């Protein structure tokens, strides 16, 4: 399986599993907690067929990447992303993140600069302040009832007006993959949400940005997330996907892909 090394811990080397298809301008997809790179299936085909090199990967502790014990803070996750860009010699990239993956992208730019990046897409960006009640409740549940928590979160990710709009077999598929992740990765990555939104990271995003958001996102409503990010990133535009929830790239892939591909063409 294709892998890149991102560090070691005692006698254990840590690697990221990735997939790399197509030719042309590179688009690197960064999944959000607790999903894996398989959550981008509807994007991979569409972007490759429109002339892009498409790279997806599993963050440490999830999917087919190493189940590391440490390194689930946003600084380390951003470093992992940059090591991927370096190892695959990716330049002129568009980085596309979903939910917490957006924070990894902006931290990567703030830490490593934008010499390898031409544009970013921040989809349903996660904005959580320290002490947030939602985060506290999720963390309590994650430590006591991890799989039921994931079940509930993935229902909310894909719900509009209280009803899940993603077909149940697909939701169960992503729930299974999320449940197979390291329990330590699940809880530590969740705790790191408190550090996803640094105003300095957003203000330092010096490449064109698209904020794409489900208009009916009940998990992270646009007014408290996408709108905040749009106001902080100097060169940004926003697209709201009608009747779409938090995970709009899975539930409304045609509209979502059209918005992102249009931005990349422009």
C-alpha 65/C-alpha 14 separation (Å) is 8
Burial class of 156 by CB neighbour count within 10 A (0 to 12, 13 to 18, 19+): middle
What is the spatial distance between Cα 29 and Cα 166, in angstroms, rounded to a whole number? 21
Residues whose CB is less than 8 angstroms from the CB of residue 126 and which lie 6 or more positions away in sequence, other chains included: 32, 99, 100, 102, 103, 193, 196, 197, 220, 225
Tokens of 253: 């892939």
Look at strands 159-160 and 53-57 and give their pairing: unpaired
Per DSSP (E only), the strands in the chain are: 3-9, 12-21, 26-30, 53-57, 93-98, 117-123, 159-160, 163-164, 209-214, 236-241
Quote the longest CA-to-CA distance of the chain. Answer: 50
Q: Which residues are catalytic?
A: 99, 217, 246
The total number of residues shown for the chain amounts to: 266
| Sign of the Cα pseudo-torsion (99, 102, 107, 108, in order) | positive
């Amino acid at each position: 399986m294709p892998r890149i090394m991102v560090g070691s811990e005692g006698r254990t080397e840590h690697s990221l599993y990735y997939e790399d298809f197509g030719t042309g301008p590179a688009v690197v997809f960064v999944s959000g907690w607790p999903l894996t790179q398989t959550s981008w299936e509807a994007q991979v085909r569409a972007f490759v067929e429109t002339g892009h090199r498409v790279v997806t990967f599993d963050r440490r502790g999830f999917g087919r990447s190493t189940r590391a014990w440490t390194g689930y803070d946003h600084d380390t996750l951003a470093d992992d992303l940059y090591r991927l860009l370096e190892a695959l010699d990716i330049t002129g990239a568009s980085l596309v993140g979903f939910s917490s993956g957006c924070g990894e992208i902006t931290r990567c730019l703030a830490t490593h600069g934008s010499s390898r990046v031409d544009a970013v897409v921040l989809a349903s960006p996660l904005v959580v302040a320290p002490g947030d009640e939602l985060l506290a409740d999720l963390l309590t549940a994650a430590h006591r009832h991890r799989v039921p928590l994931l079940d509930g979160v993935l229902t909310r990710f894909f719900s509009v007006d209280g009803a899940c709009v993603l077909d149940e077999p697909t939701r169960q598929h992503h729930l299974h993959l999320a449940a197979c992740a390291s329990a330590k990765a699940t809880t530590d990555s969740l705790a790191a949400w408190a550090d996803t939104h640094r105003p300095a990271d957003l203000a330092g995003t010096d490449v064109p940005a698209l904020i794409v958001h489900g208009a009916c996102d009940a998990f992270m409503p646009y007014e408290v997330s996408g709108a905040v990010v749009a106001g902080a990133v100097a060169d940004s535009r926003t697209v709201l996907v009608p009747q779409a929830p938090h995970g709009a790239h899975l539930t409304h892939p045609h509209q979502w892909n059209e918005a992102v591909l249009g931005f990349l063409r422009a």
